[in-house]
């Protein structure tokens, strides 16, 4: 496979992954969406409007920070952090929701729906909806509503309606099922704002396009700061949007190693993890073909991770492709290791990373010493960890 090929292909496939596996009732809607997406990306006024919002509302470009104390602590290559945590709303999710909701507005859609796990994508969608004066409904598993009260409150503050989902396992995958059911029912006036590089074509490509600013900025910043490309870039992978956003610009740079970090939860050997790429099998979930966690009968199994943002049994199809053609590798990190990294980065650098991003940090802490001291390692710090403080405190109480 030649990874420099332009992907996805015309049918929305990345190799054998991706595509459109959806009820017929939605097919005309995704065809309309794809057409509108191609039009706006070629439209100078759209790009200018999005760029202006990203600068003046989100606060981009966010910096790359050299983590000198973490570097010294790890005793290996120089570690740099791309600071998506400094975006308005506290994570990379806003890059995508602003893009999608601007598109929704141009398409004349009058109602926004979204799914959310921990609530970060829900908050980012509610934020963009408030800014662009669009009514917004967020589907959230009832289990997540209970454990992420602060984010539910933030969404309410910004005028969004949060609908707790009681079906299935009552977590992110069920929230996505319910959002799809709503979309089937209200497809003519409703825009479904998907939060990751998952779902039917063109969503994986569209979300990648809106997130690719992460890698584009970071590459230029590394040239300025380190005077060279990083030896490797690292990002956590749940659905995989921050990782795809970081990787995309670097895919053609063959010298740059791409490393995704999945959640190993209680440990891969326990079966309670969220490592779809590392330990799932190929299947179809939420409209695309990719690696998925499932049982012997093809039933989707529940993912397990301390980090709600990584707690998803599927992954974006392009990651499956990058894995199979070996352009990217995928490691995994347990809950315990992620919590250690959460503490360590806070202590050493005064930066509290999201539990999701802590997985990427933890992996770099393990491998930094395997690289030459003058090499540069770049981590996508996808979000800030204030939202996780209470959960980490409880976790430490119960596990130490």
**Rounded least distance, CB 249 to other proteins, Å:** 30
| H helices, E strands: number in the chain | 16, 14
Residue closer to other proteins, measured from CB, 314 or 353: 314
Within 121-180, the residues that bind other proteins by CB under 8 A are 167-168, 173-174, 177, 180
**Rounded least distance, CB 3 to other proteins, Å:** 23
Residue closer to other proteins, measured from CB, 15 or 19: 19
Q: Which of 2, 6, 10, 11 binds other proteins (CB under 8 A)?
A: 11
Q: Indicate the burial class of 393 (C-beta count within 10 angstroms; 0-12, 13-18, 19 or more).
A: exposed
Please tell me which residue in 78, 82, 93, 344 is annotated as part of the active site: 93
**Rounded least distance, CB 251 to other proteins, Å:** 25
Strands 328-334 and 257-265 come out as parallel
Is 323 part of the annotated catalytic residue set? no
Cα 293 from chain centroid (whole Å): 18
Q: Which of 3, 107, 184, 212 binds other proteins (CB under 8 A)?
A: 184
Q: Which string of DSSP letters, residue by residue, matches 240-287? A: -HHHHHHHGGGTT-TTSEEEEEEEEETBGGGTB---HHHH-EEEEETT
Number of residues that bind other proteins (CB under 8 A): 39
Residue closer to other proteins, measured from CB, 36 or 218: 36
What x/- string results for residues 282 through 321 when contact with other proteins is judged by CB under 8 A? xxxxxx----x-x-xxxxxx--------------------
For 60, the token pair is 């981009």
Q: Which residues pair with 161 in a beta bridge?
A: 137
Is 49 part of the annotated catalytic residue set? no
Quick check: 7 binds other proteins (CB under 8 A)? no
**Rounded least distance, CB 288 to other proteins, Å:** 10
Within 319-348, the residues that bind other proteins by CB under 8 A are none
Residue closer to other proteins, measured from CB, 63 or 283: 283
Residue closer to other proteins, measured from CB, 186 or 346: 186
Calculate the dihedral angle through the C-alpha atoms of 18, 23, 28, 29, rounding to the nearest 10 degrees: -80
Is 166 part of the annotated catalytic residue set? no
Quick check: 29 binds other proteins (CB under 8 A)? yes
Return the H-helix or E-strand segment holding 112.
Answer: strand 111-116
Q: Please, where are the H alpha helices in 42-193? A: 44-53, 68-74, 93-106, 120-131, 142-147, 149-157, 172-185
Q: Which of 88, 181, 216, 343 binds other proteins (CB under 8 A)?
A: 181
What x/- string results for residues 192 through 231 when contact with other proteins is judged by CB under 8 A? ----------------------------------------
Cα 259 from chain centroid (whole Å): 14
Phi then psi dihedrals of residue 33, to 5 deg: -65, -45
Please tell me which residue in 34, 84, 382, 387 is annotated as part of the active site: 382
Quick check: 108 binds other proteins (CB under 8 A)? no
**Rounded least distance, CB 368 to other proteins, Å:** 39
Please tell me which residue in 34, 115, 249, 356 is annotated as part of the active site: 115
Q: How far is the C-alpha of 398 from the C-alpha of 305, rounded, in Å?
A: 16
Q: How far is the C-alpha of 215 from the C-alpha of 206, rounded, in Å?
A: 15
Q: Which of 22, 98, 352, 365 binds other proteins (CB under 8 A)?
A: 22
What helix, strand, coil percent values describe the chain, rounded to 5? 50, 20, 30
Strands 17-18 and 161-165 come out as unpaired
The neighbour count for residue 158, using CB atoms within 10 Å, is 18
Catalytic residue numbers read 93, 115, 382
By the criterion CB under 8 A, which residues form the site for other proteins? 11, 19-29, 167-168, 173-174, 177, 180-181, 184-188, 281-287, 292, 294, 296-301
């Amino acid at each position: 496979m030649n990874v420099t090929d332009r992907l996805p292909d015309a049918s929305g496939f990345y190799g054998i992954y991706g595509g459109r596996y959806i009820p017929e009732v939605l097919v005309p809607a995704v065809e309309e969406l794809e057409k509108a997406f191609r039009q706006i990306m070629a439209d100078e006024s759209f790009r200018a409007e999005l760029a202006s919002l990203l600068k003046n509302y989100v606060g981009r470009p966010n910096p790359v920070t050299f983590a000198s104390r973490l570097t010294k602590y790890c005793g290996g290559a120089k570690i740099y952090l791309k600071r998506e945590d400094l975006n308005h709303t506290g994570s990379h999710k806003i890059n995508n929701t602003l893009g999608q909701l601007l598109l929704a507005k141009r398409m004349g859609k009058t109602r926004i729906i979204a799914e959310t796990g921990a609530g970060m994508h829900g908050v980012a969608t509610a934020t963009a909806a408030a800014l662009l004066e669009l009514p917004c409904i967020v589907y959230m598993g009832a289990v997540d509503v209970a454990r992420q009260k602060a984010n539910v409150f933030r969404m309410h503050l910004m005028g969004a309606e949060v609908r707790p989902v009681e079906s299935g396992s009552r977590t992110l995958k069920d929230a996505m099922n319910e959002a799809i059911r709503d979309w089937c029912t209200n497809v003519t006036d409703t825009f479904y704002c998907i939060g990751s590089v998952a779902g039917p074509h063109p969503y994986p490509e569209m979300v990648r396009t809106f997130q690719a600013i992460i890698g584009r900025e970071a590459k230029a910043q590394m040239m300025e700061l380190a005077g060279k490309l990083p030896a490797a870039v690292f990002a956590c992978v749940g659905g995989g949007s921050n990782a795809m956003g970081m990787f995309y610009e670097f895919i053609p740079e063959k010298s740059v190693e791409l490393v995704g970090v999945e959640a190993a939860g209680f440990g891969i050997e326990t079966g309670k993890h969220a490592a779809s790429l590392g330990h799932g099998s190929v299947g179809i979930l939420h409209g695309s073909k990719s690696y998925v966690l499932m049982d012997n009968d093809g039933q989707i199994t529940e993912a397990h991770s301390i980090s709600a943002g990584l707690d998803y049994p599927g992954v974006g199809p392009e990651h499956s492709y990058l894995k199979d053609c070996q352009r990217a590798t995928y490691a995994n990190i347990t809950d315990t290791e992620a919590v250690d990294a959460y503490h360590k980065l806070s202590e050493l650098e005064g930066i509290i990373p999201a539990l999701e991003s802590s997985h990427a940090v933890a992996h770099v802490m393990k491998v930094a010493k395997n690289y030459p001291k003058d090499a540069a390692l770049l981590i996508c710090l996808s979000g800030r960890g204030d939202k996780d403080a209470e959960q980490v405190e409880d976790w430490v109480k119960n596990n130490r």
